[in-house]
Amino acid sequence: MRDKVENILMIRKGAIGDIIFTLPAYYMLKANFPNSKISYLVKDRYAEVLKGFPGLDEVLPINQQISASKNMLRIWKMGTELCRRMRKNNYQLAVDFAGHGEHAFLLWLSGIKHRWGSTKNKRPVREFFYTNTFIRNLNDVHIIDQHLRLLEKGGLTPFPVKNEYVVPRENLAKAHKLFADLGLSRQKNTLFIQPFTGDGVPGKRWPLDRWVMLAEYWEKQGLQVLFGGGPGERAQLREVAARFPVAAGQADFVTSVGLTALSSVVVGGDTGLLHAALAVGKRTVMVVGPTNHLRIGPYRHPEWAVLPPTGNSIEDIRFAQVLEATETAVNDVAEKK
């Protein structure tokens, strides 16, 4: 792109994993436009995730309660205010990683010259409002790489891919304190288990009792075990908390990423925290089903995914499969020390 670009807007309103998947694209934009200001449009409930995007200039939070309501007047007022703010910020480039119709129209209405959108399939109306589109229907290509292809299609230089989530110092300090408060030692190897997937998507959760079996096995092998989870999942882990340290309900998302950074191996389902843990450099094991692990699994490490032996039901994944994958991960970490 030869045009002068001083202000850039990225759009991915949620959820956590989808936002993490835009991290390499963020670095690619910064590399191509090192002197430009970058803003990010996101639902307010996910705004904290962006703390791990180092150097991000501004976050534009969308009120999710209003967005999900059926109050058209409030939605209209919010859209009008957002359009006004976009015009005021004078963006020359907007990159929409979801490719929703309302986004395309809003960007066009805001007068942004370069409007790039990633869509699930061919949408002639949306393509009219975007100036550059990429149809992300490549089933065996990771979503991260499909986002990067959108940028390359727009003429950006494909610098070496960088997928690095940076936990702010204050959150890392909170993680250290919580780690110690839970009776864990930094001198011992720790297995971090994230038993639930974000938003409770049906078919993506491996049974909790099997995660407990895994914890019991590794505790007998001398590893510390720490269970993670969101604030709303604390109650579901009440019995687990009587036997193992549980961070659910005691740490925000970014601090939880800090806890994974203090751990040796991170294991769980297809959820945002696992993708963030990989982006902070941790060895992960991801139990995946029914989604395509090549598309949404551990980025550049498809071998770290554990898949159903037949079909695509996550409950068909045997305990022995996850145990074997975790043993491999623990050995990998030990060899690097």
CA distance 164 to 168: 12
pLDDT for position 126: 79
pLDDT category, 200, cuts 50, 70, 90?
A: low
Strand segments (E) across the chain: 7-11, 37-43, 58-62, 93-96, 114-119, 132-135, 190-194, 224-227, 265-269, 283-287, 305-306
Whether residue 102 sits in one domain with residue 181 = no
Please give the residue range of the domain that contains residue 137: 7-153
Whether residue 314 sits in one domain with residue 223 = yes
Express each pLDDT in 11-50 by its tens digit: 999 899 999 999 999 999 999 999 999 999 999 999 999 9
Express each pLDDT in 112-158 by its tens digit: 999 999 988 777 777 889 999 999 888 899 999 999 999 999 999 99
CA distance 337 to 330: 11
CB atoms within 10 A of CB 318: 13
pLDDT for position 202: 64
Whether residue 149 sits in one domain with residue 53 = yes
Nearest one of 261, 287, 304 to 171, comparing CA atoms: 261
Residues 6+ apart with CB under 8 A from 17: 198, 270, 271, 272, 275, 296
> DSSP of 227-267, one letter per residue?
E---GGGTGGGHHHHTTS-B-TTTS-HHHHHHHHHTSSEEE
Give how many domains the chain has, as a whole number: 2
Express each pLDDT in 220-239 by its tens digit: 999 999 999 988 899 999 99
pLDDT at residue 203 above 80? no
Whether residue 146 sits in one domain with residue 186 = no
Whether residue 130 sits in one domain with residue 16 = yes
For 94-117, b where at least 16 C-beta lie within 10 A, e where not — what string? Answer: bbbbebbeebbbbbeebebebbbb
CATH of the domain at 317: 3.40.50.2000
Residue 162 forms part of a structural domain: no
